[in-house]
Amino acid sequence: MAKTEKILTKNWGHINPLKIADYINVGGYGALKKFVSEMKPQTAIAEIVKSKLSGRGGAGFLTGEKLKIVAENASHEKYFICNLEESEPGTYKDRMIVDNDPHLLLEGVIIAALAVGAHKAYLYLNGNYHKQKEILETALEAARKKNFWGPGIMGSSYDLDIEIFSGAGAYICGEETALLNSIEGRRGEPRLRPPYPTETGLFGKPTCVNNAETIANIPWIILNSGKKYAKLGATCSPGMKLYILGGSVKKPGVVEAPTGLTIRELIDEIGGGVTLGKEFWFAQIGGASGHLVTEKELDTPLTFSRDCPIPLGSGSILVVDKSANIYDLILSWTEFFRRESCGKCVPCREGTFRLHEIVSRWQDGEISERDREALKDILWTLENTTFCPLGRFAATAMGDAVEKLKILCK
């Protein structure tokens, strides 16, 4: 694997995340300066479109297109939201970005918000990230003093107000419409789409919601051109990605690598291989809502493309060895989705509940004939009829466990 340039993690461990001077010394806020002095919002968005950067939260929608739709909207009031909810089990990449390089994220937020013409940006932070809130508050304060946000940014006519909005602990609020409801002071239930948030979002105004990792790529794209970014990683969804390795690997943690790597490369070359003395069983890609991958699928490259059999999702890779307690693992999925189902639609509210019941009854590897039949029905219902993707997520891993691992089959 060729060594490539780091975009997201280049400053990690080299600068003091609490000192803005450190970030400026390594060329930080250079992209903002370039944007304010040399670029028009349209040219900046054109660069991002050219980069083919796609949403890193899991859905993989093209970021440039999203920004363009909001930017082209004639409304005077627009919002920009950076999604730092990140409640997917096994995912903590956005927390690491804030911990190690908060100003990179802020610079991206400022550029993207100005490019779409928003005057107000929210950082929607996970309710459990208390330390990260303090880091962001310090960073915001420092950036404001330098006039990187606020009225008349760096002597230009751009205005931007940034506010941190702390969530209150709900997985579903990572879904963009649920997130909007949460800011509006309502239950974090998803809204019917269309209309998409890009047309009717926060308080009915056009809103651009982007994952933190996506936004952290933007300063680099502005400085180095979108064309250069499009050459990194896989051709269908280029760029760099933060992978979160966990479970039975020698070197767990967050690592930056290009998209399009195969799962085997990620585990063996980046994760250092499976822990000594353990035997690989399967891997779960993309957190609790992700697909399971067995030995024979390990050479599949991971991308955000819809043609990719295994979506990259949030980038979390959990390696499970043969000594793992599969009963606890499956129970943790169903328990998680039962607790986090928002209750808006019946298939998900009831489905996740019954799924958990069936799994709780499953002991010693055997379930009754009746439960097995019901399981099939529930999985189908979750897969096909729920209001938002959460229901489908709840069925993904379970479906794979039944199909690929032959669990809950006898």
List interacting residues with other proteins (CB under 8 A): 86-92, 95, 126-129, 165-171, 182-188, 203, 244, 246-247, 252-253, 284, 287-288, 316, 318, 320, 324-325, 328-329, 331-333, 335-336, 339-340, 342
CB of 284 vs other proteins, minimal distance in Å = 7
CB of 87 vs other proteins, minimal distance in Å = 6
- Token pair 């974090």: residue: 188
Exposure of 388 in the CB half-sphere (CA atoms within 13 A): 24
Nearer to other proteins by Cβ, of 124 and 220: the residue is 124
Nearer to other proteins by Cβ, of 48 and 283: the residue is 283
243 three-class SS: strand
Nearer to other proteins by Cβ, of 51 and 396: the residue is 396
CB of 329 vs other proteins, minimal distance in Å = 6
How far is residue 10's CA from residue 12's CA, in Å, rounded to a whole number? 6
CB of 252 vs other proteins, minimal distance in Å = 6
Decide: 401 and 407 in contact? Cβ < 8 Å. yes
How far is residue 316's CA from residue 406's CA, in Å, rounded to a whole number? 23
CB of 155 vs other proteins, minimal distance in Å = 30
Phi, psi for 104 (deg, rounded to 5): -60, -45
CB of 209 vs other proteins, minimal distance in Å = 15
CB of 302 vs other proteins, minimal distance in Å = 18
How far is residue 193's CA from residue 207's CA, in Å, rounded to a whole number? 14
CB of 335 vs other proteins, minimal distance in Å = 6
Nearer to other proteins by Cβ, of 138 and 166: the residue is 166
- The two tokens of residue 68 are 């363009």
Nearer to other proteins by Cβ, of 130 and 145: the residue is 130
Range 5-10 contact pairs with CB under 8 angstroms and sequence separation of 24 or more: 5/232, 6/240, 6/256, 7/216, 7/217, 7/220, 7/239, 7/240, 7/256, 8/97, 8/101, 8/104, 8/213, 8/216, 8/217, 8/240, 8/242, 8/256, 9/100, 9/101, 9/242, 9/254, 9/255, 9/256
Number of H helices, E strands in the chain: 16, 9
Decide: 267 and 241 in contact? Cβ < 8 Å. no
Nearer to other proteins by Cβ, of 155 and 277: the residue is 277
Nearer to other proteins by Cβ, of 106 and 180: the residue is 180
Phi, psi for 369 (deg, rounded to 5): -55, -45
Nearer to other proteins by Cβ, of 7 and 288: the residue is 288
Q: Could you say which DSSP state residue 297 is in? A: G
Exposure of 407 in the CB half-sphere (CA atoms within 13 A): 21
Nearer to other proteins by Cβ, of 75 and 203: the residue is 203
Exposure of 322 in the CB half-sphere (CA atoms within 13 A): 6
CB of 301 vs other proteins, minimal distance in Å = 23
Q: Could you say which DSSP state residue 409 is in? A: -
